[in-house]
Structure 1
Amino acid sequence: MRLTRIIILFLFTAILAACERVLDIEIREEQPVLVIEGSLTTKREPHTVKLYYTRPVIAGTAASVVSQAFITLKDNVGNIETLRELGNGVYEISNMRGREGRTYTLSVAFGDNTYEAISTIPRLSMEADTLEFKYKNKQLLYPEEGYYPFIGGQDLDGLGDFTQYKIFRNGKFLNKAKEINLFRDKYVDGNRIGNYELEIDSPFVSGDHIRIEAWSLTEAHYNTLADIREQLSNSGLFASPLPNVRSNIRKVNPASASVTGFFGTSSVKSVERYVP
């Protein structure tokens, strides 16, 4: 019986080996797409806008950037600023500061290309006003033992609030796919929420410093981040085709080159502490 099994296994392996073929797949080269990426928040610090082009997945070179663009930012009360180029496709918002409720228009021009993005800073609901840690032993839901963060906050009355929680461990931003923590008030409008667990890739240890920043989001910004999280998590044998990430950048001149990206505006508050 054992000899029969060995013979069957040998024949099966031989059949698989005989079926192997080397396939040369021709991948069509797409035209690069301009990416405009930036943000303005209520944080009292300079903000930036980046301009660069997409590149093929298998390319071994860095993405090309856009220099000498003319970029302005204005709000709905008459303030306007021309952004200063720092180099490497980065432009700085030096003077304009975000204020909750104001609407901001970002305008970008270079050559015959003109683009625009408009965004209002939404109110911040479900601010993380408490931060606690719970120690979890290794189990199905927690593949590593350690400390996991839980927050609490008050959702404001009125549907339509969206929030992102950015986690910083010892000053380093945690930005893996599962660490894009998003919240919407669709089913919890106006409620006090406690013990809201934030997703992390690996647990904290005693003595770590953690800072949680709560960023208010427009619905469009929430949808874009949800798209990004889905795409970053989309892998493996049964991965689905990737849709385009939604964008709030529009062409002013219809003949402008194709564009994607997002200009977001947020109100931000934070809470921090050390792991006991």
Structure 2
Amino acid sequence: MKLFKAIGILLIALSLNSCEDVVDVNIASENHVLVVEGSLTNLRENQYVKLYYTNPVLSDGSYEVVTKAILTLKDNLKNVEILKESSPGWYQISTIKGREGRTYTLNIKTTDGTYEAISTMPRLTMTPDTVQFKYEMKSIVYPDEGYYPVINGRELEGIGDFSQFKIFKNNKFLNKANEINLFKDEYVDGNYISNYELDIDSAFVSGDLIRVEAWSLTKENYVFWDDIQTQLNNSGIFATPLPNAHSNIFKITQESKDVTGFFGTSMVKSVQKLIP
């Protein structure tokens, strides 16, 4: 992974040095598309589904939330909950809890149409039992001198498991494009994995607290995050336009307007460590 980063940096530098032409880009305005963003986990904290609209390319960065929608969540054991809009565009899951193996259906009714998402809670694989650090000097591979995290853990037997590792630095979520850490067991099924290095944008220093959360993902959710990572890194004048990320939100009525986003279900476990 680090080698690929180094090659990428060299290629970007070469392309910038060799290009001097001015490129005029005519960007058409875009229609608003409904975005569904939410997760149900086993964590003992408030869970939410967020509804909003995509922005035109040349917008100021703000977005329009979707209010007064009707969201119904049910599982395959016939538990049903109507989500409460706790703040504009934010719909809280209060009673239904995330359980491994259960299937959850989210129904969404807005003025744009009716939509549905279905997800079965996957098991958690590659559960990290420890987080450690290695000290690196600044280089083309490592942006800063300092500490870089590695995790260790057992990957469960049975091919077809997917995970995401979310990193928190002093309780702040690291969410840059190059900090999306995805994992699949295609070549390591059933093994104990040591010194699995996580990608971060800048080094940790002495006194920092790191927390690593392992989130189980369905295959569809893994593909969604892989698409997001690709699109976030697809920058520059030579970037190839990409379609929207894969979504598990589907139109129920033919007249419903376009929709994107993802409603995921994940088992979560975390480890943390203070750098001395």
- 1:36-75 to structure 2, matched below 5 A, reads 36-60=36-60, 62-75=62-75
Instruction: Answer yes or no: is 1:261 the counterpart of 2:261.
Output: yes
Does the 8 A contact of 1:70 with 1:108 survive in 2?
Answer: yes
TM-score by length of 2: 0.89
* Aligned residue in 2 for 1:14: none
Does the 8 A contact of 1:153 with 1:192 survive in 2?
Answer: yes
Deviation, 1:235, is 1.1
Question: 1 CA distance for matches of 2:253 and 2:71?
Answer: 15
> Structure 2: which amino acid aligns with 1:269?
K
* Aligned residue in 2 for 1:7: none
- 1:77-156 to structure 2, matched below 5 A, reads 77-111=77-111, 113-156=113-156
Instruction: Answer yes or no: is 1:175 the counterpart of 2:160.
Output: no
The number of residue pairs the alignment matches comes to 257
Question: 2 CA distance for matches of 1:199 and 1:27?
Answer: 33
> Structure 2: which amino acid aligns with 1:103?
T
Deviation, 1:137, is 1.4
Q: Deviations over 1:104-134 (max 9, x none)?
A: 0000012361100000110000011111111
List runs of 5+ in structure 2 lacking aligned partners: 1-20
- Cα RMSD (Å): 1.7
Q: Deviations over 1:70-124 (max 9, x none)?
A: 1011000111111000222111011111001111000001236110000011000
> Structure 2: which amino acid aligns with 1:63?
Y
- 1:182-261 to structure 2, matched below 5 A, reads 182-261=182-261
Question: 2 CA distance for matches of 1:83 and 1:153?
Answer: 36
Q: Relative to structure 1, is the Cα distance of residues 206 and 254 closer, same or farther in structure 2, using a 3 angstrom cutoff? A: same
Does the 8 A contact of 1:46 with 1:95 survive in 2?
Answer: no
Deviation, 1:143, is 2.6
Deviation, 1:236, is 1.8
Question: 1 CA distance for matches of 2:238 and 2:33?
Answer: 27
TM-score by length of 1: 0.89
1:128 is paired with a residue of what secondary structure? strand
Does the 8 A contact of 2:214 with 2:270 survive in 1?
Answer: yes
Q: Relative to structure 1, is the Cα distance of residues 236 and 103 closer, same or farther in structure 2, using a 3 angstrom cutoff? A: same
Q: Decide which structure has the larger Cα Rg and report it.
A: 1
List runs of 5+ in structure 1 lacking aligned partners: 1-18
Question: 2 CA distance for matches of 1:48 and 1:89?
Answer: 10
2:127 is paired with a residue of what secondary structure? coil
Structure 1 residue runs of 4+, over 6 Å off? none
Question: 1 CA distance for matches of 2:73 and 2:81?
Answer: 5
* Aligned residue in 2 for 1:161: 161
